[in-house]
Amino acid sequence: MAALFLQKMKFVTLHHIDQITRKARSMCNLMLRSFLTSSSNVLLKAYKIYIRPLLESSTVIWNPTAIGLVNKLESVQREFTRRIFWRSHLSQSSYPQRLEHFKLETLEYRRALNDMYFLFDSAHGFLPCPGYLTVIIYDEPLHLSSLSPKLNCKHGLPQNPTPKSSPEPEYHLLPPYRP
């Protein structure tokens, strides 16, 4: 039963990511046809407002772990930054160089950051329904130790959150699922 559920979830996630990337690519094309400017700042701002939210909406629920799906999502931003470079008459460069030039992070990094914010908020009772933590199934251990210092410094996650006056609810997490 659990194997069937996980197989169905993988199919649903794959279908969802296909829909998201198709819609995001369509929006990128529409935006680049509509905006006649060659200003990379204007195009990048429009990307952040109209397209990136499509790629990041509710990622806590459907965050992909398969490399192919991660790359499929990332390909939208990779292609868009390449097209902005071409339109702005900038010399062609690699994807990491373009991200650095535009001061962007990879979508994978932003999803990991979003997951950490969600877990932090969950663990500290900042979300209205803490009972959902009892049904979280952790697939693989999270190894982001190299990102942790960077995240704490760059994005302002508190090192020692202030304790709340009310007692913390007791959470019971399920062990990792092993078929």
HEC readout, 25-68: HHHHHHHHHHCCCCCHHHHHHHHHHHHHHHHHCCHHHHCCCCHH
How far is residue 129's CA from residue 126's CA, in Å, rounded to a whole number?
Answer: 9
Residue-level pLDDT at 101: 94
Q: Residue 18: its pLDDT value, please?
A: 93
pLDDT at position 158 is 44
Count the neighbouring beta carbons within 10 Å of the beta carbon of residue 91. 6
What is the reported pLDDT for 149?
Answer: 42
CB 151 within 8 A of CB 107: no
Give the separation between CA 175 and CA 63, rounded to whole angstroms. 19
Please state whether the predicted TM-score (pTM) of the whole model is above 0.85. Answer: no
Q: How far apart are CA 58 and CA 46, in angstroms?
A: 20
Residue ranges in the chain whose pLDDT is less than 50: 138, 142-164, 166
* pLDDT at 45 (0 to 100): 96
Tokens found for residue 86: 């071409």
- Cβ atoms of 39 and 94 within 8 Å: the answer is no
Q: Is 51 exposed, middle or buried (0-12, 13-18, 19+ CB in 10 A)?
A: buried
Residue 130: per-residue pLDDT: 54
Sign of the torsion angle spanned by Cα atoms 67, 70, 147, 58: negative
